[in-house]
Structure 1
Amino acid sequence: MKHVSLAEWTAYIADEVPDAIKIEYEDHLYSCDDCLTVYMEAMERKEFIQPTEALDIADSVMRSIAQINAGPALEERPKKTKSMRTITKHYLIAAGFTILLMASGAFQSLAKYVDNVESASLKEKAPITEGLIDKTFNWMDDIEKKNKEGFKYE
């Protein structure tokens, strides 16, 4: 394949190249250091172009914010405040549910459940590796014991 020009790499980066040609470019890029250099140059140029696009986006966002702020001022907007009566009503409902749950024993059964889970986690078996290590040491102790007794391996 012939070398790919800077303009072609720029089109590739901008995703303006058909898929079949993209595959050819990518395959060629793996084997050609010259095209890799040109590709990197095209990427650097793309990076210089993108910040100006970001500034355009920032300008449009700032204009939108200015339009929103041009609406009614914050002081003119109606304030939503909860009345003391509503706050007291919610507090009393929460207190009532708490008393109901305490009287029914829901918190006690929850405490028992937590205790059971904690005790079960403490009673778990030893890990497999510890069991293997114990068996290995027992086996080695048996071999040492047999050697002391004069056991011969055949």
Structure 2
Amino acid sequence: MKHVSEAEWAAYLADEIPEALKIEYENHLYSCDKCLSAYMEAMEREETSVDIEGFDIAGPVMDSISRLNGGAVVEEAKQHRKEKSVRTITRHYLIAAGFTILLMAGGVFQSLTEYVDSVESSSDKKKQSLTDGLIDKTFNWMDTIEKKNKEGFRNE
């Protein structure tokens, strides 16, 4: 078979040749590197000539489905999503309520409040202003000095 030109490959890609010739071209591709490179170049040119990015197929298809069913499919899908959302929220609420009841029955919250109360009471005892602390330390220091002085006078 003779080599297939790039123009003929472009016609092949555009589906403008008979089926028998397509099969012949395909079989020739397996054995001829020159025709394979011509086919690849034609395919690259075909890809660059078609602008797929600007083409939106989903919008027109959904519009036609909506027109055929009178909008029932779209509304049904919206309703289904809403019901699913409500079910999910309800499920999460019930799970949270169940865990709360289990924690309350186990006494976790009671022990937590007792712990907080003990921490607060211990911090109340420890709360002392800086001035009061310095005065207490000064008096203690003075008391120890006074004791030492009294003991020193007794020993003489």
Q: Which TM bucket (shorter chain)?
A: 0.3 to 0.5
- Tell me the TM-score normalized by structure 2: 0.35
- Tell me the TM-score normalized by structure 1: 0.35
Q: Choose 1 or 2 for highest CA Rg.
A: 2
Select the structure that is richer in helix.
2
